[in-house]
Amino acid sequence: MKLTGLTALLLLTALYTTGQKKEYDLSSLLSKKKLTVVNRTASLLKDQPYNGVHLDDNSTEGIAWINDVTFTSGTIEIDLRGKDVLQRSFIGVAFLGVNDSTYDAVYFRPFNFHSTDPVRKIHAVQYISHPTYTWRKLRDEQNGMYEKALVNPPKATSWFHARIEIKNDEVNVFVNNDTTPSLTVKKLSNATSGKIGIWTGAGSDGDFANLIISN
């Protein structure tokens, strides 16, 4: 089928608008004051090729929202690094944020990646939807559904790549080059768009770099 000039242009425009991919340099965003940091202090991290941001620890959950960026659906990719200290390493991404207490998030517990305790090991990656569906509520009422072990867990203290797909009310989480998701769940919130940022849990710090958002 031969396409007219206008038809071809419309087709290319549709492909572009439905397949956009944008990379965010977190260290540059911090330097330019384009991160809104909540309950944390953010500092520049220079660790080639992981030039990013470090969030320090605090007794409450912390987020660094990316200013003027709205996420609807698609894929979030990011490199993260935690530590192998029990209950002191909760690192991930918040998305579909309404405010500092209402958002969805996917996060990791690196200290559980290679635990010999089978119960701890299945608590490696978690999906939550605040304020209603906290990790505690989900574990108490739907144990084992919204948190899982990793398919191929990396070293707890190493950088690893996370790919989070949020499409058609389903959340899939992949780590490094895995083709099988470590976590597949139904989205719990009704939010269709909102803020996006990097996230740390209570009592935890973490390193973040190389954020990519695709739709």
* 71 close to 213: Cβ distance less than 8 angstroms: yes
The pLDDT tens digits of the residues spanning 87-116 come to 999 999 999 999 999 999 999 999 999 999
Q: 52 CB contacts (<8 Å, ≥6 apart)?
A: 26, 27, 45, 79, 207, 208, 209, 210
Is pLDDT above 70 for 203?
A: yes
- Which whole number is the average pLDDT over 49-72? 96
Q: Is the confidence at residue 20, as pLDDT, over 50? A: yes
CA distance 164 to 171: 7
pLDDT at position 126 over 70: yes
Cα–Cα distance between 155 and 84 in angstroms, integer?
A: 9
What span, in angstroms and rounded, lies between the C-alpha atoms of 27 and 50?
9
Question: Is residue 27 predicted with pLDDT exceeding 70?
Answer: yes
| More confidently predicted of 18 and 202 | 202
Residue 14 has pLDDT above 80, yes or no: no
pLDDT tens figures, 35-47:
999 999 999 998 8
Question: What is the pTM (predicted TM-score) of this model?
Answer: 0.90
* Residue type, position 40, single letter: R
The per-residue pLDDT for 10 is 38
| Residue found under tokens 């029990």 | 86
- DSSP per residue, 19-37: S-EEEE-HHHHHHTT-EEE
Domains in the chain and their CATH numbers? 21-214 (2.60.120.560)
Model pLDDT, residue 48: 79
Which is higher by pLDDT, 166 or 49? 166
Which tops the pLDDT comparison, 49 or 86? 86
